[in-house]
Amino acid sequence: MILTYVTHKKWVFKDPGIKIIGLQSPIAYCDIIQGFQGKNKMLLCSEDDYNPFDIGKTFDFIDDPLLGGDITKKYMPHIVNNYLKDLDEENRNKMIKSFYSLESILQDSLLLEDLPLAINFDEDLKKLLKLTEIHLDKSMLLSPYGIIETVLKIHQTCDLKTIPVVCNVAHYLEKQEWQELASLVKEMNLILVVIEFTTKENLTIPKDVPFYFIDKDLIDWY
């Protein structure tokens, strides 16, 4: 895959792993962030044969892992669909049977009311899961590393085809965590794009991780 910031040299994302884009220019930083958000046309994406890709359908912009709010909420439809797809017949039938039992209790109690009340029932397990407010365990989302790891696991488990993009990882990770994250992304056979506003000298780069840098004068160093 080829990603290009307009008027700059291309970035080639060929193998799985972390790809770090370091930016010292506020102009470049805003352009690229807004490009991943679909707010401008400053980023171009294509296959090796230059067939164009839609940025919004190719990348999953996550934002800052701590400042972006609960970044896992948007994945719940994918998680629920994946859960129901893998749910075995025995447990599916148990759920539906329990739901019918609940319906029967509700119907009997409604008959005791003065008003002609009724309920609508169907076997939509998605509605049942929504009723129970299924969600990810919040304790897993207290650390920046844990948040990023969770997002990567969701991409892998739900077989999402988009490439996650996260900002400001260097604000939160120690050197050892950087290296652990780099190893994890490769083990999962995923690509993770990390955007950092930094100087070239101040950023700790995990071993064997590609680093693309644009300085304050918009000069490419890669």
Residues ≥6 apart with Cβ < 8 Å to 201: none
The model's pTM is 0.87
Residues 6+ apart with CB under 8 A from 17: 182, 185, 186, 191, 192, 208, 209, 210
Unique residue bearing structure tokens 């994302």: 13
Spacing of C-alpha 171 from chain mean position: 19
Model confidence pLDDT, tens digit, residues 40-56: 999 999 987 778 999 99
**C-alpha dist (Å) from residue 186 to 12, 134, 152, 168, 192:** 16, 30, 11, 20, 9
pLDDT tens-digit series, residues 46-82 = 987 778 999 999 999 999 999 888 888 899 999 999 9
